[in-house]
Structure 1
C-alpha cells in the first residue's frame, strides 16, 4: 500500500528551537512526537539558505542554477515539472496550503496541486489573505491556526484507510518568520530575561572572512522596533535610529555609543526601559527577540499535534509519512545574529523529523548528510514512482529507514547568490561540508542576479574544522597544518560543482599554485 505523504514546513524555524534536538530553549511536545515515534535527522542541509530558492529546490529536486530561482527576487516558472505534478500523475491527491513565496499570477502560481490556497508574499499573521483558484479572500484569525485548519480539513476529506487513493499534502506555515507575532494564548511563556544567552553572542568576528563582520543582521544594531514590540519614536535617525531601507518607514533600534542613553517603550504594555550600557541593551534586545520568536513557534507545535491526532482518529497514521522541516536554519543569537543566508552551521542546517510507522523504527537518529534537493526524490520513492532524470537529488528513504547505502555521498553543497542584498548585506558564497570539514569560497560578486549588488569586496576562502571548532570561530584556510585538508576539500567542491553543472568563480589550479608559492 502506497503511503500518504504529509510535508509540514515552517519558515525560519531553527533546529535549536525544537526540544527534540536537545538545546533546552523551549518545549515542543508534538514535534518531539515525530522524533520519538520516527527519526530525527541531524545532518540535513539547505542548498541556498534563503526562503524562495529553498522552496524551489524542494519542489523541483534541482539546484537553483537549474531551476533559475536564485534570489528572493526571482520566481518559479510553473510550466516546469515538479514533484507535485509527478505525484498527481501517479494517482495521488495533491494540495498545498500556506506560504508559497515563489511568485504570483498565472506564470508563477502553484501547479500540480488539486487544491491550493496560499498567502501572497510573506503573508500576514492576523486575518491573512489567501489566494487560490477562485481568487483572493481574507480569513479572520491567526495564520498558523488557519493553515492548520485547511490542512486538517484536507486530511479528513481524503482519509482512506484502504489506501485506494493516497494523498500528498504540503502544509507550509508562515511562522516563525520575522516580524514575530504570537497568538495571545502564549503570552505567558518564555518571559524576557529567562532565555539563555548563546556562548558566541558577543562574537567579534576575528579570524573569519570579512563577510561576517559586514552582515547587517546583528541583534544589537539591526533589529526593528516592531521586531521587539517597542514603540518607534516619531523622529529622525538621531533619535529613532536608521531606516532599515531607504524609503521604508521601519527603523532599527540603535546601538548605544559610550555616554549615550536611551528609553524605549513596550508597545504591548506601555512599560518603559532605560539603558546607558550597550552590552545590557543588546541583551535586552536578544531577550525580547527570543521571547517573541519562541512564542510564535508554539502555535506550529500545536498545529502539528492536531494533524497527528487527525491521522489517528481517521485510522491512517500507520500508513502516513509525516515530515517536519523548515526552509532553512536560523540564527538565534549565535554570533550575535538573527536571520540566515550564511553557510555557517546554525543557518545552514535544517531541522528534519520524520515519522512513518510502517517503515521507520521509532526513536532513531541519523547523521548521514542529506539536503533539501533530496526531498522530492524521497517523496517519489515512497510513492513507488520513478525519479525523473532532471532531478539532482537522491532519495533519503534508505537513510531514514536505517539502511544507508555504502555509496551514500556524505557531502553537502551550498550557494548563496544574492550578494550584498539591500537589507542584510550578506555576501555571495558557495562551498561544501563533509562530516568534519567545511570549505567556503566568498566570491563576492553580484553576477547580474536580481536583488544582488556589487560592492567591490575581494574574494576569500574559509575552512573550518567542525569537529575541533564546532562554533566555527577559527578559519584555518591558511593554517599550514590544514593545507592537505584544504586541497582535499577543494577537490570535493570542484567535483560537486561539475556533477551538478554549477559554474565556479574560482580557478583551482591558480588557487593551489598561489598557495604553494606562499608556503
Structure 2
C-alpha cells in the first residue's frame, strides 16, 4: 500500500479495531493478552442479523491462550495464542483437532473447504462473510520447506536510517533510539527460547522472514 496507517501496530489491538471499527481506547484490547471486554460487538454479528453466514479461520489471540469460538461467527477455526508453524492443533467449532503440515497451508485448506460449503447457499441468495488471519509472519520465522533457503546468501541493502549513529538519530524520534535494544528492537529482538544478545545474524533473520512471507502469496 502506498499510504497505510494503523493507530496501534500490534496484532490483537489491530484485529479488534478491524472487527469493531473502533480505536483501541474504545475497544480496550490494549495488548495481545487482553480479552475482548463484555458487551463488545463485532461487525460480523450485524452481518448475521442481516442474513449472512459468517466464518473465521486463523489466528485470533484476543484472550491469548483461549481458542474457543467467538460470537458472531457460524464457523470457527482457530488456535491458542500465536500457534505453531508446523503440525498445529485447531479448534474447529469447539472441538480440537491436530494436523500434520504447515499452518498457513492448513488454514487455507480450511477456508476453501468452508467456501465450498457455503458457495451453493450464497448462489441461492444467502450471502457469506469469511475472515482469514494467518500466523505468519511472526517470530520465530519458519518458512515451509518449499521456500526455505530461497534467499540464503542474498545481499540485503539496509536503509541508511538503520544506522546506529548519533547523526542518524538527529532526524528520528527519541523512542526509536531507546527501543533499539528492546524486545522489538533490531539489535535485540524478542527471540523466545532462542533468545541471544545481540541477535546472532540479522541477515539470516530477515531472509527467514522473507521466505516465510512467501507462504502467504
TM range (shorter): 0.7 to 0.9
Mapped to 1, the partners of 2:50 and 2:124 lie a distance apart of 14
Q: Tell me which of 118, 121, 126 is aligned to 2:81.
A: 121
Distance apart, 1:55 and its partner CA: 0.7
Q: Does 1:142 align with 2:106?
A: no
Distance apart, 1:292 and its partner CA: 0.3
SS in 2 for 1:43: coil
Bigger radius of gyration among the two: 1
Distance apart, 1:196 and its partner CA: 2.5
Q: Tell me which of 184, 187, 193 is aligned to 2:154.
A: 193
CA gap 1:109/1:153 in 2 versus in 1, 3 angstroms:
closer
Q: Tell me which of 137, 162, 165 is aligned to 2:126.
A: 165
The answer to whether the Cα contact below 8 Å between 1:78 and 1:110 also exists between their aligned partners in 2 is no
Mapped to 2, the partners of 1:214 and 1:137 lie a distance apart of 43
Mapped to 2, the partners of 1:166 and 1:54 lie a distance apart of 26
Q: Does 1:208 align with 2:172?
A: yes
1:9-20 matches, within 5 Å, as none
1:289-328 matches, within 5 Å, as 289-301=205-217
Aligned match of 1:29 = none
SS in 2 for 1:157: helix
> Could you list the per-position Cα deviations for residues 285-344 of structure 1 after superposition, in whole angstroms to 9, with x for gaps in the alignment?
23211110111011111xxxxxxxxxxxxxxxxxxxxxxxxxxxxxxxxxxxxxxxxxxx
C-alpha RMSD over aligned residues: 2.3
Mapped to 2, the partners of 1:66 and 1:118 lie a distance apart of 25
Q: Tell me which of 115, 122, 125 is aligned to 1:155.
A: 115
Mapped to 1, the partners of 2:116 and 2:38 lie a distance apart of 28
CA gap 1:169/1:300 in 2 versus in 1, 3 angstroms:
same
Mapped to 2, the partners of 1:150 and 1:109 lie a distance apart of 15
Aligned length: 209
Distance apart, 1:213 and its partner CA: 1.2
The answer for unaligned runs of 5 or more in structure 1 is 1-40, 228-243, 256-263, 265-284, 302-519
The answer for unaligned runs of 5 or more in structure 2 is none
> Could you list the per-position Cα deviations for residues 237-266 of structure 1 after superposition, in whole angstroms to 9, with x for gaps in the alignment?
xxxxxxx7xxxx5422437xxxxxxxx7xx
The answer to whether the Cα contact below 8 Å between 1:126 and 1:142 also exists between their aligned partners in 2 is yes
Mapped to 1, the partners of 2:110 and 2:172 lie a distance apart of 45
Mapped to 2, the partners of 1:253 and 1:212 lie a distance apart of 18
Q: Tell me which of 182, 200, 204 is aligned to 1:288.
A: 204
The answer to whether the Cα contact below 8 Å between 2:69 and 2:94 also exists between their aligned partners in 1 is no
1:55-134 matches, within 5 Å, as 55-77=15-37, 79-103=39-63, 105=66, 109-134=69-94
Mapped to 2, the partners of 1:156 and 1:147 lie a distance apart of 14
Distance apart, 1:72 and its partner CA: 2.4
> Could you list the per-position Cα deviations for residues 485-515 of structure 1 after superposition, in whole angstroms to 9, with x for gaps in the alignment?
xxxxxxxxxxxxxxxxxxxxxxxxxxxxxxx
CA gap 1:133/1:159 in 2 versus in 1, 3 angstroms:
closer
TM-score (norm 1): 0.38
Mapped to 2, the partners of 1:210 and 1:81 lie a distance apart of 37
Mapped to 2, the partners of 1:254 and 1:290 lie a distance apart of 15
Aligned match of 1:49 = 9
Distance apart, 1:202 and its partner CA: 1.2
The answer to whether the Cα contact below 8 Å between 2:13 and 2:30 also exists between their aligned partners in 1 is yes
Aligned match of 1:218 = 185
1:224-243 matches, within 5 Å, as none
Distance apart, 1:129 and its partner CA: 1.6
Mapped to 2, the partners of 1:66 and 1:97 lie a distance apart of 25
